[in-house]
Structure 1
Amino acid sequence: MPFRACLAALVLSLSATLAAATDRAAVERDYRAWLEDTVWPAAAAAGVSRTTFDRATGGLRLDWDLPGLVPPGGAPVPRRQRQAEFGSPGRYFDAGGVAAAVRIGREMAARHAPALAAAERATGVPGHIVLAIWGRESNYGRAAIPHDAFEVLGTKGFMSTRPELFTAELVAALRIAEDGHAGPGGLRSSWAGALGQPQFMPSSFLEHAADGDGDGRADIWNSEADTIASIATYLARHGWVAGRDWGFEVTLPADMSCTLEGPDRGRPIREWEAMGIARVSGRAFPAHERDGEGYLMLPAGRNGPAFLVTPNFYVLKDYNMSDLYALFVGHVGDRIAYGVGDFAAPWGPVGGLMRSDVAEMQRALQAMGHDTGGADGLAGFRTRRAIGAWQEERGDAATCFPETGMRAALGR
Structure 2
Amino acid sequence: MPSQLSRSPLALLPLLLLAACAKAPAENLPLTSSAPTTQISSVPALLSFADWRQALRAEALSKGIDAAVFDHAFSGIIPDPAVMKADSSQPEFTRPVWEYLDGAVSASRIGRGRVLLAQHNLMLREIEQRYGVDAPVLVAVWGLESNFGNNIGSNSVIRSLATLAYEGRRQGFWRNQLLAALQILQHGDIPSERMIGSWAGAMGQTQFMPTTYNEHAVDFDGDGKRDLWTSSGDALASAAHYLQTSGWQRGQPWGFEVRLPKQFDYFHADPEQRRTLAEWQALGVVPVGGGKSVSPDSRATLVLPAGHRGPAFLLLDNFRSILRYNNSTSYALAIGLLADNFLKPSEIQASWPRDERQLGRSERIELQELLAKNGFDPGPADGIIGANTRKAIRLLQLQQGEPADGYPNLELLELLRTR
Same-fold call, TM cutoff 0.5:
yes
* Contact 1:258 1:298 (C-alpha < 8 Å) held by counterparts: no
Alignment of 1:108 onto 2:116: yes
Displacement of 1:126? 0.6
* Contact 1:89 1:351 (C-alpha < 8 Å) held by counterparts: no
* Contact 2:269 2:405 (C-alpha < 8 Å) held by counterparts: no
* Contact 2:113 2:140 (C-alpha < 8 Å) held by counterparts: yes
Q: Secondary structure at the match of 1:294?
A: strand
Displacement of 1:372? 4.8
In structure 2, what residue type is equivalent to 1:83? T
Change (3 A) 1:346 1:157: same
TM-score, with length taken from structure 1: 0.84
Change (3 A) 1:387 1:340: farther
* Contact 1:300 1:400 (C-alpha < 8 Å) held by counterparts: no
Displacement of 1:278? 0.8
Q: In structure 1, what is the equivalent of residue 243 of structure 2?
A: 235
Displacement of 1:299? 0.9
1:197-236 per-residue CA deviation (whole Å, 9 max, x = no partner) reads: 1000000000010122222321100011111101111111
Alignment of 1:377 onto 2:395: no
Change (3 A) 1:325 1:112: same
Alignment of 1:198 onto 2:177: no
* Contact 2:105 2:337 (C-alpha < 8 Å) held by counterparts: no
1:80-128 per-residue CA deviation (whole Å, 9 max, x = no partner) reads: 43222xxx22111125852222111111101111221112112221111
Q: In structure 2, what is the equivalent of residue 402 of structure 1?
A: 408
Correspondent of 2:339 among 322, 328, 333? 333
In structure 1, how many angstroms separate the alpha carbons of the residues matched to 2:222 and 2:379?
45
* 1:217-366 pair list within 5 angstroms: 217-281=225-289, 283=290, 285-286=292-293, 288-337=294-343, 339-348=344-353, 349-366=355-372
Q: In structure 2, what is the equivalent of residue 187 of structure 1?
A: 195
Divergent runs of 4+, >6 A: 26-29
Q: Secondary structure at the match of 1:118?
A: helix
Change (3 A) 1:196 1:187: same
Change (3 A) 1:368 1:133: farther
- Structure 1, unmatched stretches of 5+, are 1-25, 71-75
Question: Of the two, which has the highest radius of gyration?
Answer: 1
* Contact 2:205 2:228 (C-alpha < 8 Å) held by counterparts: yes
In structure 2, what residue type is equivalent to 1:291? D
Displacement of 1:394? 2.1
TM-score, with length taken from structure 2: 0.83
Change (3 A) 1:235 1:56: same
* Contact 1:69 1:160 (C-alpha < 8 Å) held by counterparts: no
Change (3 A) 1:62 1:113: same
1:158-196 per-residue CA deviation (whole Å, 9 max, x = no partner) reads: 111111111110000010111112247331010111000
1:7-48 per-residue CA deviation (whole Å, 9 max, x = no partner) reads: xxxxxxxxxxxxxxxxxxx979711211111x2233223321
Q: In structure 2, what is the equivalent of residue 392 of structure 1?
A: 398
In structure 2, what residue type is equivalent to 1:33? D
Correspondent of 1:42 among 51, 59, 80? 59
1:307-364 per-residue CA deviation (whole Å, 9 max, x = no partner) reads: 0001211111111111101111111011112x13321111102233212211222343
Alignment of 1:32 onto 2:69: no
Moved more, 392-401 or 174-183: 392-401
In structure 2, how many angstroms separate the alpha carbons of the residues matched to 1:370 and 1:122?
50
Q: Secondary structure at the match of 2:257?
A: strand
Alignment of 1:51 onto 2:59: no
Displacement of 1:69? 7.1
Q: Secondary structure at the match of 2:253?
A: coil
Change (3 A) 1:362 1:243: farther
* Contact 1:28 1:62 (C-alpha < 8 Å) held by counterparts: no
Q: In structure 2, what is the equivalent of residue 7 of structure 1?
A: none
* Contact 1:258 1:301 (C-alpha < 8 Å) held by counterparts: no
Q: In structure 1, what is the equivalent of residue 40 of structure 2?
A: none
- Structure 2, unmatched stretches of 5+, are 1-43
RMSD: 2.4
In structure 1, how many angstroms separate the alpha carbons of the residues matched to 2:292 and 2:204?
38
Change (3 A) 1:46 1:241: farther
In structure 2, what residue type is equivalent to 1:408? E
* Contact 1:66 1:191 (C-alpha < 8 Å) held by counterparts: yes
In structure 2, what residue type is equivalent to 1:297? V
Change (3 A) 1:375 1:89: farther
1:236-290 per-residue CA deviation (whole Å, 9 max, x = no partner) reads: 1122233421101111112222232334210111110111111111x1552x431
* Contact 2:265 2:403 (C-alpha < 8 Å) held by counterparts: no
Change (3 A) 1:187 1:238: same
* 1:58-73 pair list within 5 angstroms: 58-67=75-84
Q: In structure 2, what is the equivalent of residue 73 of structure 1?
A: none
* Contact 2:303 2:312 (C-alpha < 8 Å) held by counterparts: yes
